[in-house]
Amino acid sequence: MAESQSQEDPRTQVEAASKAFEHEFERFARFTGQYAAVQGLTLDQAESEERALAELRTRHLGKKSVLVNCKKSIGRVATEGRAAFGQLVQSREAEIVSAIEQAESKLKDHIQSARTQRESIDVTLPGRRPRRGHLHPITLVRERLEDIFVALGYAIEDDCEIETDFYNFDALNIPPNHPARASQDTFYTTEGLALRSQTSTVQIHAMQRRGAPVRMIAPGRVFRRDTPDPTHNPMFFQVEGLCVDRGISMAHLKGTVAELLRRMFGSKTVTRFRPSYFPFTEPSAEFDFSCFKCGGLGCRICKNSGWIELGGSGMVHPNVLRAAGVDPEEFSGFAFGFGIDRMVGLMYELDDIRLLFENDVRFLEQFE
């Protein structure tokens, strides 16, 4: 008894602790209730309040707090007052916990939203990426053409760029005195070899290698002695196509070229064949296609004709078949050719095709 006498009355202690908490909690009271006053706090302030609140919790609910001590002493309180005392301690503790948690939760929410806001970014800033290069428009178009013809059952062929007169002219039925052979039009090396003036040379190599039937296209560089100007270059790229089989006719030529042009310029593209002359084909035809820009009504691109001239074609001349070791009585075939550069020029509306070989990155960057 003497011992308990010497100590303060536990009830008084609990009440005092509760009072003390109320006093210290006063500054946090504004964070509780319906109109919690957290909004005005900056993130830093809110975080420091949160820390202070955590200290408060330790002081009043921690291991060494008065309330916890009182709780421990419940067992020692006289039996008749024990239940009431226990209730008192617990209710006071609950009050404190609830007050702190209310304030804490408000502060936490505020801190989280403030932090989210602080860490928000400008999503319109440029993404981080290495600089991507660009393939040359001639490569882009060439690859497309190759893929189309592979899908149509053609093999892609190539051969040398410097050729003998036999492959560049004779085998193509170009007569010995044809102007194309003149050194005004064709480049010659000091050894008298020609820079191929058309990729038709590959037709002969391919027929010699593969025999008939054969289907192939030959995309590649060709050379003609033109001074560079907005519509000419002394070097350009050409695609030459060849299909030799039994029973091949001009209808197949038309069908193939029309299919190609539809795939390149859209399904509404119309192709037109006009009689023409090439030494290596007979009958020969030039082909035009309906202007992809104006649909045939007439515009700048088609020079108001509604048609765009693209290339030459025809049934392979029997002399050419023979030169390549193919019997023209058994086999017939068609061939066609056109400039890739010209197609690039049309597709991208280039006003000066010299740009194709300047390699200006501001130009190259425009093609994807």
242 binds another protein (CB under 8 A): no
Is the C-alpha dihedral spanning 217, 292, 275, 178 positive or negative? negative
Candidates 52, 74, 250, 299: give the one binding another protein (CB under 8 A): 250
Candidates 23, 63, 118, 132: give the one binding another protein (CB under 8 A): 132
Candidates 2, 34, 129, 349: give the one binding another protein (CB under 8 A): 129
Minimum Å gap between C-beta 328 and another protein is 9
CB nearer to another protein: pick between 10 and 314: 314
226 binds another protein (CB under 8 A): yes
Contact set for another protein, span 190-209 (CB under 8 A): 190-193, 195
Candidates 75, 120, 133, 330: give the one binding another protein (CB under 8 A): 133
Helix (H) or strand (E) holding 146: helix 137-151
Contact set for another protein, span 288-327 (CB under 8 A): 315, 317-318
CB nearer to another protein: pick between 250 and 294: 250
Residue 304, beta-bridge partner list? none
Alpha helix segments (H runs only) across 216-316: 250-265
CB nearer to another protein: pick between 116 and 190: 190
245 binds another protein (CB under 8 A): yes
Degrees, nearest 5: CA angle 272-289-296: 105
Q: What is the x/- site pattern for another protein, positions 348-367, by CB under 8 A?
A: --------xxxxxxx-xx--
57 binds another protein (CB under 8 A): no
- What per-residue string of b and e applies to 119-158 under the rule 16 or more CB within 10 Å gives b? eeeeeeeeeeeeeeeeebbbebbbeebeebbeeeebebbe
Cα–Cα distance measured from residue 17 to residue 15, given in angstroms and rounded to the nearest whole number: 5
Cα–Cα distance measured from residue 68 to residue 203, given in angstroms and rounded to the nearest whole number: 100
CB nearer to another protein: pick between 65 and 290: 290
Contact set for another protein, span 63-122 (CB under 8 A): none
| Pairing of β 235-245 and β 332-339 | antiparallel
Cα–Cα distance measured from residue 319 to residue 165, given in angstroms and rounded to the nearest whole number: 16
139 binds another protein (CB under 8 A): yes
CB nearer to another protein: pick between 48 and 231: 231
280 binds another protein (CB under 8 A): no
Closest by CA to 261, choosing from 253, 271, 252, is: 271
CB nearer to another protein: pick between 10 and 339: 339
